[in-house]
Amino acid sequence: MFNLNFIKMKKLLFIPVLFMSLNLFSQDIKYGDGLFEANFTVDMMYTDDLKNYKVTASGEAGPYGRAYLSYEFTSELDVSGQGEFNGTAWTQNGEEITTAILRGIYRRNGDVFKLYTLDNLSKGKIFSLPQEH
């Protein structure tokens, strides 16, 4: 009887300790730090099947200067109005050149694409935020 109560007590203590330890390793991501305004113009848009799109754009990206972007929008799950994208970008501000890998998901409302993106920049920065194009 003592052994059974001891096992129940161990289980009872193990669960709260497990949840507390998971919180110790969590990270609070602050969205909005380092935000800047970027204005892009679509230079080219191409599709073979009216389902997947390739887009190039250029414009000004705040402190990064002139930016050039290339996206490929797909819908692997075949859900109307949403899907995923991959892309690349590079900017030049004076002599400083920054490159980026762009990945994420999108929602389309008419001709407006809202991108939820995770961008990995060559300078070691990572951007994660919704963007509307």
Looking at the domain assignment, is residue 48 inside a domain? yes
CA distance 14 to 6: 12
Query: What per-residue confidence (pLDDT) applies to 96?
Result: 86
The stretch 94-121 carries a mean pLDDT of: 88
CA distance 105 to 31: 17
Query: What per-residue confidence (pLDDT) applies to 57?
Result: 93
| pTM, entire model | 0.65
The first and second tokens of residue 124, run together, are 């070691």
Looking at the domain assignment, is residue 76 inside a domain? yes
Question: What is the tally of structural domains in the chain?
Answer: 1
Task: Summarize pLDDT for 84-97 with one digit per residue, the tens.
Answer: 999 999 998 888 88
Query: What per-residue confidence (pLDDT) applies to 110?
Result: 86
Q: Which residue has the tokens 């200067």?
A: 65
**Residue span of the structural domain in which 50 resides:** 38-132
Looking at the domain assignment, is residue 23 inside a domain? no
Looking at the domain assignment, is residue 32 inside a domain? no
Query: What per-residue confidence (pLDDT) applies to 61?
Result: 86
Looking at the domain assignment, is residue 83 inside a domain? yes
Task: Summarize pLDDT for 38-80 with one digit per residue, the tens.
Answer: 888 999 999 998 888 899 999 998 888 899 999 999 999 988 8
CA distance 130 to 105: 9
| Residue 43 Ramachandran class (φ > 0 left, ψ -120 to 50 alpha, else beta) | alpha
Looking at the domain assignment, is residue 113 inside a domain? yes
Average predicted confidence (pLDDT) for the chain: 79
Looking at the domain assignment, is residue 89 inside a domain? yes
Looking at the domain assignment, is residue 25 inside a domain? no
